[in-house]
Structure 1
Amino acid sequence: MKETVVITGAGSGLGASLARKFSSLGSHVCLIGRTQEKLLETASKLENDYSIFEADVTSRVSVRNTIRKIQEERDSIDCLVNNAGVGVFKCIEELTEEEINQMIDINLKGTIYCTQEVLTGMREKNKGTIVNIVSGSGKVAKPTESVYSASKFGVRGFSDALALEVEDSKINIFSAYMGNMKTNLWRNDLENKNLDLYMDPEDVAEIIIENLKPRKHLNVSDITILNHN
C-alpha cells in the first residue's frame, strides 16, 4: 500500500503545497480542513489518489473520529503534518477573547489533539513521522504577535518534549520554522508590502520534504528557513 500522509489545513497555502509535493512522490494524501470547497481545489491538482475529510482540529472528538476513519481505510498513517494555523496580529490589548482562543485552540491544541490520535498507531508499528509547522514566531517573538507567538512557542515546547518521549523508537518528530510566506495568514501584510520579501510556499514545501527523506545514519529533527532580501 502507498505511504499515507495526513495534512491538516490542506485547503490552501503551505498545506496545499505540501499535498502536491507528497502526491507527486506517490503518497496517498489525506486532506483535512474545515472547508470542503478548498480541499477539493487542492485535490484537483494532485497527481495520485487522495481522501478528503472535513474536520475541526480544535475538537478532540472531531479529530478522533477523523483519524479513526483514516486508519480504518488506510490501515496506518505514515506521516502526520500539523499545518493548520491561524494568526491575528494586533497589540495585545486589542485582541478579543475569541481571537485569543482561536489561536491557542487551532495552533497549539489542534497540534496536540492530532498528534495524540496518530501516535498510538505509530507506536504499535514503531514507525512514522510527525511534522509540526511551527513558524519563526515560535523562536523569535515579535510585536503584534504576542498570542500568536505564545501559541507557536507552545508548539515548539510540545515538539521538543514529544521527541524525548519517542526517542527510543523509530518515530521521527520534525519541526519546521519559517518566516513570512505568501499565504492567507499574512494577507493583510501582503496588501501593503513588497511581495518579493515573502517566501513562496512551494519552495518551503520542497525544503521540508527534502529534509524528511530517509538517509543512512542521519536524521533531521528541525529546520529554520529565513527570509532574505
Structure 2
Amino acid sequence: MRKTILITGASRGFGKLWAKTFLERGDKVAATARRLSDLDDLIKEFGDLITPIQLDVTDRTKTFEAVQYAETALGGIDVLINNAGFGLFGTIEETSEEEARQQIETNVFGLLWVTQAVLPIMRKQGQGHIIQLSSALGLTSLPTLGIYSASKFAVEGLSEALAAEVADFGIKVTILEPNGFATDWPGASASKSKPMQEYEAVHQAFQNNGKPSDYGDPAATPPALLALVDSANPPSRLFLGNMAYPWIKYVYEQKLAVWEEWKDVSAAAHGK
C-alpha cells in the first residue's frame, strides 16, 4: 500500500535521498526545503507525486500552514519524517549565544512545531507514524559537539514522552539514531564556531579520532527507511549504521558501572 509522506529538510542529504526513495516506489511525498530551487530535480523527475513546500521550520506559524497545505495536497499524512536540522561544531565555551539559539531553534523547536502541527491530522485519521531524526549523539556526546548533542538529547526526551501520549490515538513514534554517514552534514550543512587557541588540542584530537572508513554510506539507508514506514509495529528506536549499536552499548555499560559503584550513596540521599 502506497503512503502519503511529509519529510522536512529535503533539500540535501538524508532528506533528499529518502524523499527520492519514496517517490521512486510511487508514494506521494510533500517535501520541504528553505529554497524550493533545491527540489527542482525531484520536481522534474517525479512531477505530481511530489508536493514541494518552502519552509523554515523555526517559523511556527508558517510550519502549521505548511503542514495543513501538505494534508490537503496529499489527502492525508501517513508518515512524518522530521529530518530538518543541522550540526554545530564548537566547544561549549566557543559557542556564541546566536549559534546556540539557532541550533536549538532548528533542531528542537523546529521539530516540535512540525510535530504539533501534524498531530491533529493524525488523530483525526486514527493513525500515523512520526519519525524523529535524532542521532547516536542523542544518547552520548563528543567534544566539540556538545550543543548539537544537547539538541538531540532534547529530541529523545520529547519523543519518548510523545510516544506514550499518542499511543491510544493509533500514532506510532520512532526515533532514528544514525551514526556518522558520508553526507555533507559535517561540511556544507554544518555551522562552526570561531575556534579559541586554548582548545586547539581538543579540536585536533577530535579531528584525528575518526577515519573515512568509519562513516556509513547514505545510499545503503533507503531499505531501512522503507522497512520502517511499512512496519505495522515499528520500533521506538532504530540505529542506522553498524557503528552506533556497539558504541552506545559500550557507553551505557560504562555508565551502569558508575551508577552501580555509587548506588549506596544514591539510595542514602533518598532519606528513608
Q: What is the TM-score of this pair, normalised by structure 1? A: 0.90
Residue number in structure 1 paired with 2:225: 208
Residue number in structure 2 paired with 1:223: 238
Structure 2 CA distance for partners of 1:195 and 1:37, relative to 1, 3 Å: farther
Residue number in structure 2 paired with 1:134: 134
Answer with 1 or 2: which has the greater Rg: 2
Residue number in structure 2 paired with 1:21: 21
1:31-46 matched pairs, under 5 angstroms: 31-46=31-46
1:172 alignment partner AA: K
Residue number in structure 1 paired with 2:115: 115
- Gaps (5+ residues) in structure 1? none
SS class of match (1:91): coil
Deviation at 1:176, TM superposition (A): 0.6
Q: Distance in 2 between matches of 1:206 and 1:82?
A: 18
1:200 alignment partner AA: D
Q: Distance in 2 between matches of 1:117 and 1:173?
A: 15
The question of whether the paired residues in 2 share the 8 Å contact of 1:137 and 1:149 is answered with yes
Identity over aligned pairs, percent: 32
Residue number in structure 2 paired with 1:75: 75
Q: Distance in 1 between matches of 2:93 and 2:42?
A: 37
1:5-16 matched pairs, under 5 angstroms: 5-16=5-16
Residue number in structure 1 paired with 2:214: 197
Q: Distance in 2 between matches of 1:115 and 1:196?
A: 35
Q: Distance in 2 between matches of 1:45 and 1:152?
A: 33
Q: Distance in 2 between matches of 1:6 and 1:125?
A: 15
Residue number in structure 1 paired with 2:53: 53
Q: Distance in 2 between matches of 1:170 and 1:73?
A: 22
Q: Distance in 2 between matches of 1:95 and 1:148?
A: 11
Q: Distance in 2 between matches of 1:69 and 1:212?
A: 22
Deviations 1:159-214 (A, max 9, x none): 1000000121221111110111112211279x986433211222223213212323
The question of whether the paired residues in 1 share the 8 Å contact of 2:51 and 2:73 is answered with no
The question of whether the paired residues in 2 share the 8 Å contact of 1:8 and 1:15 is answered with yes
Q: Distance in 1 between matches of 2:3 and 2:237?
A: 22
2:240 alignment partner AA: I
Deviation at 1:154, TM superposition (A): 0.3
Structure 2 CA distance for partners of 1:42 and 1:102, relative to 1, 3 Å: farther
Aligned residue pair count: 225
Q: Distance in 1 between matches of 2:70 and 2:53?
A: 9
- Gaps (5+ residues) in structure 2? 191-206, 244-272
Structure 2 CA distance for partners of 1:46 and 1:97, relative to 1, 3 Å: farther
Q: RMSD in angstroms over aligned alpha carbons?
A: 2.3
Structure 2 CA distance for partners of 1:56 and 1:196, relative to 1, 3 Å: same
Deviation at 1:44, TM superposition (A): 4.1
SS class of match (2:185): helix
Residue number in structure 1 paired with 2:3: 3
Deviation at 1:226, TM superposition (A): 3.9
Structure 2 CA distance for partners of 1:207 and 1:195, relative to 1, 3 Å: same
Q: Distance in 2 between matches of 1:202 and 1:133?
A: 17
Which range is displaced more, 60-69 or 70-79? Answer: 70-79
Deviation at 1:45, TM superposition (A): 4.9
Q: Distance in 1 between matches of 2:46 and 2:99?
A: 33
Structure 2 CA distance for partners of 1:88 and 1:45, relative to 1, 3 Å: farther
The question of whether the paired residues in 1 share the 8 Å contact of 2:108 and 2:155 is answered with yes
